């Protein structure tokens, strides 16, 4: 397939506030890709409900995410913008793909373990309440089960005497039993501490992501490196399906360099609303300036007269996106020679960010005053999605021998007595 014919799929969480990390790391590239490819862009509310959330807040957050992506430049007349739960085929395909997804592959997903562990830590960190108590009960239960497994392995460990004349069969049997018990225990501990308390939906998240991509037979996926493992699973699932039921799905690949990792204002972690190290694309100019003031810089620049190292300073990395040309080189030189202080450097950055965000804020203001424009764009997107999704699902169900499309064939065979 010629690259221009590639279909593009990507999604964004309805966090309610899109920040410059999302913009630089995803949405800006989406807008560019929409000029040259057929693109499907989705606000992934079905994904968002796999962790704790407030159902009363969800509609506003979802609408806000759609509005902000449109304000950032996604034009519903040039690409398909939609909300995941408005196209139920996403969850239907997830279920069908579950049948060809090995549990072992899902257990390897590092993001699942991280999210589950974080959820448990959050529950344990709560001062009081049911979540904390239930997490503590859970830990106690997991610990007790692990001790039982250790006890079960004890007789075999004790029976293994390096000085004794064991036969090959005896050794093989002992080793296999010890391995089984230890493996079981490790699995139990690893899974138990957090992971087994997570919802089945969180565990199945990567299959839903595979379904998102495969439903549209997308072959290009502009996501960050941190999603490579999920994309690998998507390819594995598609491949298993194709081998078992016949060729239906193409191979999806990541658009390399499409989603650079943007660090937050703490200079150490990825920019994220939940970490509070972000600048929202709709933050007013004075908020942008305020947020930048305490932002992390080169730690060796303690005094104004200390020379700095722009190459390790996150403020300078942001300048690379927002301050162009000669000014960028001047800033680097000014930093290295202590000709410019961090205060002024940040002021220049704030001006650059505000210049870039101004048209986005203006479009967002216009869309807020005309919500029907957003809803119409969404409806247009939903219709296009349903068209493609219905066709893929017909193919998938027929290949798997299920659904209304094939039941007539069964009736005929019964009638003929086949
Ligand atoms: S002058 Fe700018 S680039 Fe240099 S350390 Fe300060 S904030 Fe960073």
Distance CA 111, CA 163 (A): 45
For residue 2, pLDDT over 60 is answered with no
| pLDDT reported for residue 147 | 79
pLDDT tens readout for residues 294-303: 999 999 998 9
Query: Coil, helix or strand for 313?
Result: coil
Q: What is the pLDDT of residues 372-405, one digit of tens each?
A: 999 999 999 999 999 999 999 999 999 999 999 8
For the Cβ of 96 lying below 6 angstroms from any atom of ligand 1, the answer is no
What value does the mean pLDDT take over residues 61-65? Answer: 95
340: Cβ below 6 Å to ligand 1?
A: yes
For a substitution probing ligand 1, which of 309, 336, 342, 343 has the most ligand atoms within 8 Å of its CB? 342
By percentage, how much of the chain surpasses pLDDT 90?
A: 64
| Of 73, 72, 49, 77, nearest in space to 61 by CA | 49
Summarize pLDDT for 326-340 with one digit per residue, the tens: 899 999 999 999 999
Which ligand 1 atom minimizes the distance to the CA of 319?
A: 3
- The reply to whether ligand 1 has any atom less than 6 angstroms from the CB of 342 is yes
Residue 271's nearest CA partner among 20, 61, 16, 90 is 20
Residues 414 and 404: their CA atoms lie apart, in Å, by 16
Tokens of 130: 């049911």
| 206 Cβ contact list (under 8 Å, min separation 6) | 106, 109, 111, 112, 229, 230, 233, 234
> In the chain, pLDDT over 70 holds for what percent of residues?
91
Question: Using a 6 Å cutoff on CB, does residue 308 contact ligand 1?
Answer: yes
CA of residue 320 to ligand 1 center, whole Å: 12
Give the separation between CA 271 and CA 283, rounded to whole angstroms: 15
Atom of ligand 1 nearest to the CA of 336: 4
Average pLDDT, the chain: 89
The CB of 301 under 6 Å from ligand 1? The reply is: yes
In this structure, of 242-251, 255-264, 359-368, the range with the lowest mean pLDDT score is: 255-264
Q: Are 211 and 97 in contact (CB under 8 A)?
A: yes
pLDDT at 174: 82
Helical H segments across 76-195, by residue range: 89-98, 103-107, 110-125, 130-159, 168-192
Decide whether any atom of ligand 1 lies within 6 Å of the 6 Cβ: no
Q: What pLDDT was estimated at residue 183? A: 74
pLDDT at 1 (0 to 100): 44
Q: Which of 32-36, 257-261, 407-411 has the lowest mean pLDDT?
A: 257-261
Q: Are 241 and 248 in contact (CB under 8 A)?
A: yes
180 has a pLDDT exceeding 70 = yes
Distance 127 CA to ligand 1 centre (A): 40
Lowest mean pLDDT among 165-174, 193-202, 245-254, 371-380: 193-202
Cα–Cα distance measured from residue 94 to residue 253, given in angstroms and rounded to the nearest whole number: 19
Q: Tens digits of per-residue pLDDT, 185-235?
A: 766 665 565 666 678 898 899 999 999 999 999 999 998 888 889 999 999
Question: What average pLDDT does this structure show over 34-45?
Answer: 96
Return the minimum-mean-pLDDT range out of 40-54, 119-133, 245-259, 304-318: 119-133
Residue pair 84/46 in contact (Cβ under 8 Å)? The answer is yes
- Mean pLDDT over residues 45-64, rounded? 93
Is any atom of ligand 1 closer than 6 Å to the C-beta of 46?
A: no
Counting Cα atoms < 13 Å in the Cβ hemisphere of 327 gives 12
User: For residue 166, what pLDDT band results from cuts at 50, 70 and 90?
Assistant: confident
Answer yes or no: is the C-beta of 349 below 6 A from any ligand 1 atom: no
């Amino acid at each position: 397939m010629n690259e221009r014919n590639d279909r593009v799929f990507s999604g964004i969480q309805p966090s309610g506030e899109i920040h410059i990390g999302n913009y630089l790391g995803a949405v800006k590239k989406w807008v560019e890709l929409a000029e040259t490819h057929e693109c499907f862009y989705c606000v992934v509310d079905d994904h968002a409900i796999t962790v704790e959330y407030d159902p009363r807040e969800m509609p506003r957050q979802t609408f806000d995410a759609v509005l902000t992506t449109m304000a950032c430049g996604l034009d519903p007349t040039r690409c398909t913008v939609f909300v995941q739960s408005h196209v139920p085929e996403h969850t239907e395909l997830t279920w069908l793909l579950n049948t060809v997804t090995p549990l072992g592959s899902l257990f390897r997903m590092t993001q699942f373990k991280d999210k589950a562990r974080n959820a448990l830590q959050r529950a344990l960190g709560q001062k009081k309440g049911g979540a904390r108590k239930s997490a503590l009960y859970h830990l106690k239960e997991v610990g007790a089960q692990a001790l039982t497994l250790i006890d079960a392995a004890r007789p075999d460990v004790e029976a293994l005497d390096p000085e004794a004349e064991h036969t090959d069969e005896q050794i093989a049997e002992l080793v296999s039993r010890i391995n089984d018990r230890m493996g079981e225990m490790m699995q139990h501990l690893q899974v138990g501490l957090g992971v087994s308390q997570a919802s089945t939906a969180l565990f199945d998240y990567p299959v839903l992501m595979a379904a998102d991509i495969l439903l549209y037979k997308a072959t290009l996926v502009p996501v960050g490196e941190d999603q490579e493992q999920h994309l690998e699973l998507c390819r594995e699932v598609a491949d298993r399906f194709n081998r078992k039921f016949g060729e239906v799905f193409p191979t999806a690949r990541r658009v390399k360099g499409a989603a650079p990792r943007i660090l937050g204002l703490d200079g150490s972690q990825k920019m994220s609303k939940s970490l509070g190290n972000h600048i929202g694309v709709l933050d007013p100019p004075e908020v942008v300036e305020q947020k930048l003031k305490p932002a992390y810089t080169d730690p060796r620049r303690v005094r104004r007269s200390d020379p700095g190292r722009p190459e390790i300073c996150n403020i300078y990395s942001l300048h690379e996106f927002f301050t162009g040309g000669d000014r960028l080189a001047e800033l680097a030189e000014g930093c290295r020679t202590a000709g410019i202080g961090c205060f002024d450097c940040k002021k220049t950055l704030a001006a650059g960010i505000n210049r870039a965000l101004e048209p986005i804020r203006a479009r967002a203001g216009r869309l807020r005053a005309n919500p029907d424009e957003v809803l119409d764009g969404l409806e247009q997107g939903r219709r296009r999605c349903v068209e493609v999704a219905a066709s893929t699902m017909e193919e998938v169900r027929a290949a798997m021998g299920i659904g209304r499309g094939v039941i007539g064939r069964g009736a005929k065979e019964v009638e003929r007595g086949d």
